[in-house]
Each structure stands twice: as C-alpha cells, then as structure tokens.
Amino acid sequence: MTICIETERLILRPFSEKDVEDHIAMMQDENTASFLTPDGKPRAYGEEWRAAAMLIGHWSIRGFGFFSVVEKETGDWVGRVGPWHPGGWPGLECGWSIVSGRWGKGYAPEAAIASVKWTFDQFPDLARIISVIDPDNKNSQAVARKIGEEKTDEIFDFWGHKLEVWAANRDAWLTAYGS
C-alpha cells in the first residue's frame, strides 16, 4: 500500500532513498542543525548520510516513520515531519524539521496535524503522542502549541541535553482536531 497524505499545501509520503540528498542539505544548514545534532552544529556529509539511512531503516523496522514533506505548488522537498519511535525513546514522537527557506509559512504544524491524525488512526490503542523539545527551541515549542500539545513535567536526557516532553492525549486531541 502506498502511503500519501495530502493537506491544503503539502504532500506527505514516507521518507525514502530519493530524499537522502535533500535531507543532508537541510541538515547541513546551521539554522536547522542547531537543535538536531549533539553540539548544535552541522555534521559531516557522511554522518548525515548515515542518519538519513536510519530514517529509512525506521520505516523497515517499525512500519512507520518520518514523512517527507513536499510543497504542492513547486514539487520541492521542504522537510521531514511525522511519527517515529526509535529504541530508547520516551514514547512515540511526532517530530518536525523544515528547510529554513520555508520557515514561517506554518508548514510544520500543517504537516504535523496530518501526521498525528494518521498516527492515531494507525494505532487505535495509542494513548498519546509526544514531542521531545529543547527548552531553548522556541520555534519548535510554537509548533507544539499550534498542534495542541502541552508541556508535561517529564524530562528526557539525550546527548547530555535535558529535553522537555510535550504531549497530546488521544481522546482530547481527536475531539479538538477531528478524526
């Protein structure tokens, strides 16, 4: 079955091998890397190649994963948004990253709402979806608020950073955003 989610301005499809170079280019932008790498700086090409392979491997292992976000108007690859749950993670997360040239258009929340809907639909027993966010990452916190997540008092220690866990509880979220 081919997964393809359409929103007003975006197409979401599983991250795949054809997206690797676009993803590396996004991650080598210091604006995007600032909260996504251990030291907040862009990583070398080879490290990002392996990180992209992990996103594809996540789909193989879990049967779900990040979506590539494609802008309908141009056909451009503009980021990755969607569910993932790597081993050792504190829950099933909806994550988001958008290429910096497209920030401020509301693409991350538009794609994230569609992703959360898709994920709750796929997993009827899933009680909540989380997002793990650095306390200094104000842009990401804005997205979490826009998609109806609230900050919990849970902290997740990753790469030596104390990250805050935001969450959307299933029943309340589906009531607010529709099923």
> Is residue 120 at the binding interface for ligand COA, with CB under 6 A as the rule?
no
Long-range contacts from 56-64, C-beta under 8 angstroms, 24+ separation: 56/15, 56/16, 56/17, 56/20, 58/84, 58/86, 59/14, 59/15, 59/16, 64/119, 64/122
Q: Is 106 in the site for ligand COA (CB under 6 A)?
A: yes
Closest to ligand COA by CB, 64 vs 69, is 69
Instruction: Return the residue nearest ligand COA (CB atom).
Output: 104
- Rule CB under 6 A: choose which of 13, 105, 161, 170 binds ligand COA: 105
Q: What share of the chain is helix, strand, coil (3-state, %, to 5)?
A: 40, 30, 35
Does 96 bind ligand COA (CB under 6 A)? Our answer is: yes
Smallest gap, in angstroms, from Cβ of residue 104 to ligand COA?
3
Q: Does 36 bind ligand COA (CB under 6 A)?
A: yes
Place of tokens 């997360």: 93
> Interface with ligand COA by CB under 6 A: which residues?
32, 35-36, 96-98, 103-109, 133, 137-140, 142-143, 146
